[in-house]
């Protein structure tokens, strides 16, 4: 009887495995950074050269506010869903194009 209970506990613990919050946070940060700056850089580069620094500072503030608001939600979803494969890909991506391949 004790053996059966131990098996049930082990199986339940294995089935409820969650993702690593530290890895998920790092993956969410990298994903957000690559995704945001892909669009922002395109907008900034369309501006005259003398307006780019100010625009970049404005976009940096926008990115920081957005990251603060969304990081906890992204991390929580990642941990709950246990996105091991995605976390590794999102964390290792160095470009927006590499990040997009994670979703294939």
Q: Is residue 63 part of a domain?
A: yes
Residue 63 confidence (pLDDT): 97
CA–CA separation, 97 and 89 (whole Å): 12
Q: Domain range holding 32?
A: 19-102
Q: Is residue 88 part of a domain?
A: yes
What total number of domains does the chain contain? 1
Q: Is residue 46 part of a domain?
A: yes
57-81 CB burial, b ≥16 within 10 A, e <16: eebeeeeeeeeeeeeeebbeebbee
Q: Is residue 13 part of a domain?
A: no
pTM of the model: 0.79
Q: What is the pLDDT along the chain (104 residues), one digit of tens a residue?
A: 444 333 334 334 344 568 999 999 999 999 999 999 999 999 999 999 999 999 999 999 999 999 999 999 999 999 999 888 899 999 999 999 999 999 77
């Amino acid at each position: 009887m004790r053996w059966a209970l131990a098996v049930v506990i082990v199986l339940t613990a294995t089935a409820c495995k969650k993702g690593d919050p530290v890895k998920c946070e790092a993956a969410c940060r990298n994903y957000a950074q690559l995704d945001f700056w892909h669009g922002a850089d395109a907008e900034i580069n369309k501006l005259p050269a003398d307006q780019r620094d100010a625009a970049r500072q404005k976009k940096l503030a926008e990115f920081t506010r957005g990251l603060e608001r969304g990081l906890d939600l992204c991390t929580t979803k990642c941990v709950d869903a246990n996105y091991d494969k995605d976390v590794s890909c999102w964390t290792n991506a160095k470009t927006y194009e590499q990040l997009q391949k994670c979703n294939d």
